[in-house]
Amino acid sequence: MRAFTQHQGLVAPMDRSNVDTDMIIPKQFLKSIKRTGFGPNLFDELRYLDEGKPDQDSSQRPLNPDFVLNQPRYKGASVLLARSNFGCGSSREHAPWALDDYGFRVIIAPSFADIFYNNCFKNGLLPIVLEEKIVDQLFEEAEVSEGYQLTVDLEAKTVITPSGESFGFDVDDFRRHCLLNGLDDIGVTLEDAELIKSYENQRRKTAPWLFGAGQ
Amino acid sequence: MAGKTLYDKLWDDHVVKQREDGSALIYIDRQLLHEVTSPQAFEGLRLANRKPWRIDANLATPDHNVPTTDRAKGIEGIVDPVSRIQVETLGKNCDEFGILEFKIMDQRQGIVHVIGPEQGATLPGMTIVCGDSHTSTHGAFGCLAHGIGTSEVEHVLATQCLVQQKMKNMLVKVNGTLGKGVTAKDVVLAIIGKIGTAGGTGHAIEFGGEAIQNMSMEGRMTVCNMAIEAGARVGMVAVDGTTIDYVKGRPFAPTGEAWDAAVKYWRTLHSDLDAKFDKIVELDGSEIMPQVSWGTSPEMVADVTGNVPDPAKEEDPIKREGIERALKYMGLEANQAITDIKLDRVFIGSCTNSRIEDLREAAAVVKGRKVSASLKQAMVVPGSGLVKAQAEEEGLDRIFLEAGLEWRDPGCSMCLAMNADKLGQGEHCASTSNRNFEGRQGFGGRTHLVSPAMAAAAAITGHFVDVRELLN
Ligand code: SF4
């Protein structure tokens, strides 16, 4: 997995709460059996005026000029500023894959849906929860000043604005450790293979009905 | 020391390792696999040269984009090439790794959350995961069950474990007895209407109270199914006699001595009397009316006797804007009576409501009646091949067909419109599924979530109607 230590990037403010996973990547694009290539269909229904279909050349489609990511000033954005309950809806990991494929590395919001929040870490994306009033402030600054960038330091757990103002955020130590080192979750777990085996052997004795049924 | 909640017990029984940072390695007893969220997990295993840890813990079936007509053709009958590739890929992966799969032509095929319980592959006390957020359904059996993402599917395949943070405990208590014509679906929609789609975030919800205790297993599954729409990944109901009776005799259920030992353990799977919950919400079941969702979020529900809300009366500007946006998308007027909403299609199916009792409930309403001529389509999609066979044995298919509803083959179907079954732009659909997000059932489609009985009633009248009027 790609490691994440520090990131500085252009901020795109998406002023809408409860952005669900259907909005992030509509289901007609979920049929791929790969993990990449979802970027052109990120926010498809908001981003384009026509109905998106799989295997289409998205560069030829009519863009919705009102949608934030279509505004030239936000081209190349890698930090998504969002509202509360971002990523609600389904457990599909295609949502972080699409955000990642588009080029986002960080998402900042007052709150995230649980599953989505988890899925971000597993894919090298950093979701950051900041207080509503701080998010409001960042929205204001990002909208007012063109080219507004934020710096995110995962080591120090801070978000730093262009004026040097710094906001701390919380992140689970284990997730932070894995993200900082680009550690794959499975590898970390398999270090405990012996423990898993002994748990399993114990269970075979105390709850034998849980074993062997699916063959 | 305070007693334990059901969730605490399930959690404690599955901790393999407590990590210093508060997370834990949790052992997973059962993983259900389907064609949409598994291909990249198998791809990942292969890329890293890893093998599944425990093959017999997995059970697979294609459901999300199998066609619901012309099934005799099997995989060849899947017109959309991408859908076909996914279904084929699941088959190849299961064959390669030796995982049991109910393939498209198998009578046991169906929606994962229907077939797990049906087969007894869902047993009380298990930890169950699936790459689908409605895995909470299985919590009805006193299981710790939740949806996971594709990386986690791969993680469970490779290690039989998941890294989890313990959630908080929440109790949703539905007291009293439900009125006639009021079903488990109305109960869960009313709960979501009350606590909102973020009401359970970060919590494992246990549903309890008299109304839940009196529900059948299928009703409890409907309630737990939509825990995720209330923001909670996990929904649960304590094990009781109803649970144990339901499990008994199912193909994967234990027998003989193992059965007796299992039952003894299962009987302990309830919250202790002195257990502490972080949050408790109570509802009076006798006050719950048949529900209809009017908006684009499952919390946007109203009693069938009520009206669409008026955004002008909402003080919170964010909520007001949300209502306005939803009304615009749904093509509804503020204050419009729910019963004035006209429908284009009716869909009875999905992992929320496609089990035999759901079909019986719908059939009882349409029996001897005809679907309104104003509808473009009304269809019934059973949750599994076995549900279909059972319904046909009971003659429910005849009742539906005579009334003018279509009788389909099992799958997710119009719940998420990944196969050919979808809504046209602007069309209103009375649907027994669980999500009414914009475009969920087709681009521009307008979903109204209801119970099977309410959907059936709406099919007859062509608009919403209080099903209790038709039941007399
Ligand atoms: S029926 Fe709908 S909600 Fe249930 S598993 Fe299928 S797509 Fe998901």
Q: Is the CB of B421 under 6 A from ligand 1?
A: no
Alpha carbons B277 and B4: distance in angstroms, whole number: 9
Q: What secondary structure does DSSP assign to B324-358, as a single string?
A: HHHHHHHT--TT-BGGG-B-SEEEE-TTTS-SHHH
In chain B, what residues touch A99 (CB-CB under 8 Å)?
none
Is the distance from the beta carbon of residue B137 to the nearest atom of ligand 1 less than 6 Å?
no
Q: How do residues B337-372 score in pLDDT, each as one tens digit?
A: 999 999 999 999 999 999 999 999 999 999 999 999
Residue in A93, A174, A203 nearest the CB of B23: A174
DSSP letter, residue A164: S
pLDDT in tens, A22-32: 999 998 888 77
Of B280-294, B301-315, B433-447, B453-467, minimum mean pLDDT range: B433-447
* Cβ–Cβ gap A31/B36 under 8 Å: yes
Of the ranges A77-81, B87-91, B412-416, which one carries the lowest mean pLDDT score?
A: B412-416
- Report the pLDDT value the prediction gives residue B83, as an integer from 0 to 100: 87
The answer to whether residues A130 and A150 touch, using CB atoms and an 8 Å cutoff, is no
Nearest CB partner across the interface for A20, out of B65, B165, B437: B437
How many angstroms is it from B130 CA to the middle of ligand 1? 12
Task: Using the mean position of ligand 1's atoms as its centre, give its distance from the Cα of residue B64 in Å.
Answer: 7
pLDDT, position A215:
40
Percent of chain B at pLDDT > 90 equals 88
3-state secondary structure A2-62: CCCCEEEEEEEECCCCCCEHHHHCCHHHCCCCCCCCCHHHCCHHHHECCCCCCCCCHHHCC
Q: What is the mean pLDDT of residues B413-437?
A: 90
Chain B, nearest residue to A198 by Cα: B16
Do residues A26 and A146 make contact, with C-beta atoms less than 8 angstroms apart?
Answer: no
What's the CA gap between B37 and B86, in Å, rounded? 9
Q: Which of B119, B437, B441, B447 best probes binding to A when mutated, by most A CB atoms within 10 angstroms? A: B437
- Whether A56 contacts chain B with CB within 8 A: no
Tens of pLDDT, residues B143-181 = 999 999 888 999 999 999 999 999 999 999 999 999 999
Contact indicator for B34, B150 with CB cutoff of 8 Å: no
Most informative mutation of B37, B222, B226, B350 for ligand 1 (most atoms within 8 A of CB): B350
Residue A26 in contact with partner chain B when CB distance is under 8 A: yes
Classified as helix, coil or strand, B402 is helix
Task: Categorize the per-residue pLDDT at B238 as very low, low, confident or very high, splitting at 50, 70 and 90.
Answer: very high
What mean pLDDT do residues A31-48 have?
89
Nearest ligand 1 atom to alpha carbon A90:
8
**Rounded distance, CA A51 to CA A150, Å?**
33
**Residue A79: C-alpha distances to residues A73, A178, B25 (Å):** 13, 20, 31
Distance from CA of A167 to the nearest CA of B (A): 23
A215 and B252: CB-CB below 8 Å? no
Residue with the smallest CA separation from ligand 1 atom 4 is B351
Amino acid type, B360: R
pLDDT for residue A67 is more than 80 = yes
Map tokens 């079954």 to a residue.
B421
What is the distance in angstroms between the CA of the first residue and the CA of the last residue of chain A? 34
Taking the CA of residue B254 and the nearest CA in chain A, the distance in Å comes to 6
Q: What is the pLDDT of residue B412?
A: 92
Residue type, B393: E
Cross-chain Cβ contact A114/B202 below 8 Å: yes
Judge if the beta carbon of residue B172 lies within 6 A of ligand 1.
Answer: no
Out of A54, A88, A122, name the one closest to residue B151 (CB): A122
User: What are the tens digits of pLDDT across the range B271-326?
Assistant: 999 999 999 999 999 999 999 999 999 999 999 999 999 999 999 998 999 999 99
Instruction: Indicate if the pLDDT at residue B459 is higher than 90.
Output: yes
Q: Where does the pLDDT of residue A213 fall: very low under 50, low under 70, confident under 90, or very high at 90 and above?
A: low
What pLDDT does residue B221 have?
A: 98
For chain A, the C-alpha Rg in angstroms (whole number) is 20
pLDDT at position A214 is 44
d(CA A158, CA A167): 5
Q: To 10 degrees, what angle do helices B112-119 and B385-393 make?
A: 70
Q: Which residue has the tokens 């929860």?
A: A129
Contact B22 A210 (CB under 8 A): no
Q: What is the ipTM of this complex?
A: 0.91
Q: Which atom of ligand 1 is nearest to the CA of B435?
A: 3
Q: Is B197–A88 a contact, with Cβ atoms under 8 angstroms apart?
A: yes
Q: SS3 breakdown of chain B: % helix, strand, coil, rounded to 5?
A: 40, 20, 45
Distance CA B302, CA B305 (A): 8
User: What three-state secondary structure class fits B145?
Assistant: strand
Q: How many CB atoms lie within 10 A of CB A211?
A: 15
At A64 the pLDDT is 95
**Ligand 1 in contact with B350 (CB < 6 A)?**
yes
pLDDT score recorded for residue A145: 94
In chain A, the percentage of residues whose pLDDT exceeds 70 is 99
Q: How far apart are CA A61 and CA A47, in angstroms?
A: 10
A174 contacts on B by Cβ (under 8 Å): 19, 21, 23, 163
pLDDT at B5 over 90: yes
* pLDDT digit string, tens, across residues B21-74: 789 999 999 999 999 999 999 988 998 889 999 999 999 999 998 988 888 888
Q: Does A18 touch chain B (CB under 8 A)?
A: yes
Of A93, A118, A214, the CB nearest to B121: A214
A112 min Cα distance to partner chain B (Å): 9
> What is the rounded average pLDDT of the residues A175-196?
90
Taking an 8 Å cut-off on Cβ atoms, the answer to whether A199 and B54 are in contact is: no
Contact A25, A42 (CB under 8 A): yes
Q: If we measure between CA atoms, which residue out of B446, B344, B360, B449 comes closest to residue B400?
A: B360
**pTM exceeds 0.90, yes or no:** no
**Of the ranges A81-95, A136-150, B411-425, the best mean pLDDT one:** A136-150
Phi and psi torsions of B461, nearest 5°: -95, -20
B contacts of A114 (beta carbons < 8 Å): 201-202, 231, 233
The pairing of strands B58-60 and A166-168 is: unpaired
Q: How far is the CA of B222 from the centre of ligand 1 (A)?
A: 12
- Angstroms from B2 CA to nearest CA on chain A: 25
Inter-chain contact B149–A199, Cβ cutoff 8 Å?
Answer: no
> How far is A68 from A47, CA to CA, in rounded Å?
8
Q: In sequence order, what are the residues at sequence separation of 6 or more whose Cβ sits closer than 8 angstroms to the Cβ of residue B87?
A: B35, B62, B65, B66, B75, B78, B104
Q: To the nearest whole number, what is the mean pLDDT of chain A?
A: 92
Give B296→chain A minimum CA distance, Å. 11
Spatial contact of A79 and B427, defined as CB atoms under 8 Å apart:
no
CA dist., res. B255 & res. B55, Å (int): 21
Picking from B85-89, B169-173, B238-242, which range would have the lowest pLDDT averaged per residue?
Answer: B85-89
- B423: which DSSP letter? P
Pairwise CB contact (< 8 Å): A189 & B37: no
